[in-house]
């Protein structure tokens, strides 16, 4: 009986690894073709390159747009995730601690944002009225508006697990409103803060729908958008497109490797705790 179980587990493990190839092979395909010559990469096959050409990467890195777009991505993702984090944690703190009927209505309004679709066309109108269309400010505020519901939701669940007696003790010691939050509560929220920052940062970095609708000037585009452009310009040079894709994947995979624990816990908490 025991032996049979062990045999079964080994079969299961082998099967799981074979299955993981379904995920890994497409990435391997891009990686292989990123070091091939133009003619070899034309078919995007899994054949090994006859000669490893790192010159594809050099070629891609010669394009100055890569650097500006990298810093655009970095700036937009950082600004959007920081603003989201600050405003959402404050809002979630008050809503979670004072669950009055009014506050719960506000919370429901935030939750609506998790499900309701964005109306891009009228968003454009509002951004025109606010005079932030086609600007960095407009774009990172828009990202914040999109991320706030999920982030408030994430913080709300976590703050509920921090004892309220802590607040009372702090108030007796003379801490009030802002001081109470920033000095006492906010440091305790570190795990969920890291999670929120990583998830929002990645979502912002990966997005190309917002620039597609709202950023006409290519000088303000992030890496993903520039790669899209690159893809249509170099449609016949798949070796270069592949190299550009790998360069785009690198920052994302590095963040995933470092923050994996936080990403998974945040995404599941967001889904399960509710």
Positions in 147-166 near another protein (CB under 8 A): 148-149, 152, 160
Q: What does the alpha-carbon distance between residue 53 and residue 18 come to, in Å, rounded to a whole number?
A: 29
The one-character DSSP state at 218 is G
Report whether 50 contacts 40 (CB < 8 A). Answer: yes
Query: In whole angstroms, how close is the CB of 117 to another protein at the nearest point?
Result: 5
**How is residue 225 written in tokens?**
């958008």
Query: In whole angstroms, how close is the CB of 210 to another protein at the nearest point?
Result: 11
Taking CB under 8 A as the rule, does residue 52 contact another protein?
no
The stretch near another protein (CB under 8 A) out of 52-60, 64-72, 117-125, 186-194 is 117-125
CA atoms within 13 A on the CB side of 270: 21
Residues 6+ apart with CB under 8 A from 97: 159, 164, 167
The stretch near another protein (CB under 8 A) out of 49-57, 60-68, 186-194, 247-255 is 247-255
Taking CB under 8 A as the rule, does residue 134 contact another protein?
no
CA atoms within 13 A on the CB side of 49: 21
Query: In whole angstroms, how close is the CB of 64 to another protein at the nearest point?
Result: 21
Residue from the set 35, 76, 79, 141 that interacts with another protein by CB under 8 A: 141
Residues between 194 and 233 with contacts to another protein, criterion CB under 8 A? 202, 205-209, 212-213, 224, 227-228, 231
**How is residue 14 written in tokens?**
């082998």
Query: In whole angstroms, how close is the CB of 90 to another protein at the nearest point?
Result: 4
Query: In whole angstroms, how close is the CB of 113 to another protein at the nearest point?
Result: 6
The one-character DSSP state at 41 is H
Q: What does the alpha-carbon distance between residue 95 and residue 2 come to, in Å, rounded to a whole number?
A: 53
């Amino acid at each position: 009986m025991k032996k049979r179980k062990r045999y079964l587990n080994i079969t299961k493990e082998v099967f799981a690894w074979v299955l993981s190839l379904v995920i890994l092979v497409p990435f391997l395909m891009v990686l292989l073709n990123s070091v091939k010559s133009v003619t070899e990469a034309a078919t995007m096959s899994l054949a090994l390159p006859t000669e490893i050409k790192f010159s594809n990467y050099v070629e891609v890195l010669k394009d100055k747009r890569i650097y500006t777009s990298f810093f655009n991505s970095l700036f937009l993702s950082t600004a959007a995730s920081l603003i989201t984090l600050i405003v959402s944690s404050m809002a979630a703190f008050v809503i979670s601690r004072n669950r009055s009927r009014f506050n719960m209505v506000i919370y429901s309004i935030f939750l609506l944002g998790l499900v309701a679709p964005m109306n891009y066309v009228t968003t454009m109108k509002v951004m025109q009225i606010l005079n932030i269309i086609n600007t960095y400010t407009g774009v990172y505020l828009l990202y914040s508006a999109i991320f706030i519901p999920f982030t408030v939701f994430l913080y709300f669940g976590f703050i509920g697990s921090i004892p309220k007696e802590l607040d009372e003790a702090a108030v007796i010691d003379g801490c009030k409103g802002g001081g109470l939050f920033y000095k006492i509560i906010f440091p305790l929220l570190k795990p969920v803060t890291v999670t929120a920052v990583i998830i929002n940062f990645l979502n912002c970095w990966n997005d190309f729908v917002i620039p597609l609708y709202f950023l006409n000037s290519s000088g303000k585009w992030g890496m993903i958008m520039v790669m899209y452009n690159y893809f249509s310009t170099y449609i016949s040079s798949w070796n270069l497109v592949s190299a550009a894709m790998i360069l785009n994947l690198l920052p994302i995979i590095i963040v995933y490797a470092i923050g994996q624990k936080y990403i998974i816990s945040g995404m599941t908490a967001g889904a399960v705790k509710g």
